Structures are given as C-alpha cells and as structure tokens.
Copies of this chain bind each other. A is one copy, B any other.
Amino acid sequence: MPDDALQTTEDAPIKLGELTNGLGFLIRIAQVKLFENFFEHLGEYGLKPGEFTVLWVIGLNPGLRQGTVANTLHIKPAHMTKLTGRLVERGLVSRATPADDRRAVRLSLTPEGQKFVDSKKDAFLNHNFDEKEALSPEEAEQLISLLRKFTGLNACP
C-alpha cells in the first residue's frame, strides 16, 4: 500500500530550539521547498532553475558578456562555462566573440531560445505564486520585498 506520508522513524517531538530563528536554516528549508516545487511543475522542460534564469537574463540583455551574467547571478566562471555549453547544445543560446575584445564571449538567444523564453516566461516567473500556499498575498509581497532589501537588489533598473 503506497503511503505518500513518509513519517519514517520515530515520532518523538524533536526539539529544534533557537534553530527556528536562524535565518540560514530557514533559508535552506525554503530553498528545498522551492526546488521541489520547481521540478514538480517545470521539470518537464528539462531546464534547471539556474539555466532558466540565465536564459531570461540573456533574453533581456542580448549580447551580454558571459562574465557579466556570471557576476550578476553569482555564478562562478567555471560553472558558467558549463552552463552556457549546455544551453548552446540545446540550441537555445549562441556564443559570439566580438572583434573589439577577442577574449570575451557574448551571448544571445537563438530564435528557438527566444521562442522558448516567450512561451515559458509566465510559468517560470509566476511559478512561485503557486507556492505561497502558506502565505497570504500581502505576506508574500512583504517577504519578497524584505528579501530584495536583504540581498541588496533594490537599486535595479
């Protein structure tokens, strides 16, 4: 009999103490929840959150340099190389070496990439809203606002 409530092991009331006030801990748990939700809803498209985000940013800033994307999204250069490679292989992104600085790599969406972003945009950007079950719309707005302040993402055009 398949039981989806995996109440494994014992049931003693675990004490977490002040841990539940730890921002780091809470963020990690929230992260896990969002990750699960992402794959449940958007996993079918075969892209991971970071890949989708990169696609989105390239779409908004065509010809952006790879390193700039990496800095902006806090992705390490080494990882960025691989991530870009995956998107190129899927035919969603194209690389270009500009003549004025031949070390650089500039990224753009291919027509397919653009089409993909256009069609999946809403599912991607609004997928969080499904997730805020536990929060009222106002609370959700507040949470986002506080996080934006915490991360220093208020000064953005």
Chain A positions within 8 Å of B, measured between CB atoms, are: 6, 8-10, 12-34, 38, 49-50, 53, 56-57, 60-61, 64-65, 67-68, 71-72, 74, 104, 125, 127-128, 131-132, 134-135, 139-140, 142-144, 146-153, 156-157
Contacts and interface: CB of A to CB of B under 8 A. Distances in A.
B125 A152 contact: no
Contacts of A33: 150-151
Contacts of A65: 9-10
Contacts of A38: 24
Given A22-B128, A31-B28, A125-B19, A146 B152 contact: no
Contacts of A19: 53, 56-57, 125
26 contacts: A6-B71, A8-B68, A9-B104, A10-B68, A13-B157, A14-B61, A15-B60, A16-B57, A16-B153, A18-B125, A19-B125, A21-B144, A23-B34, A23-B140, A23-B147, A24-B34, A26-B144, A26-B151, A26-B153, A28-B49, A28-B74, A132-B150, A135-B149, A135-B150, A143-B146, A146-B146
A16 B155 CA distance: 11
A31 B31 CA distance: 8
A125 B28 CA distance: 15
A26 B148 contact: yes
A4 B63 CA distance: 27
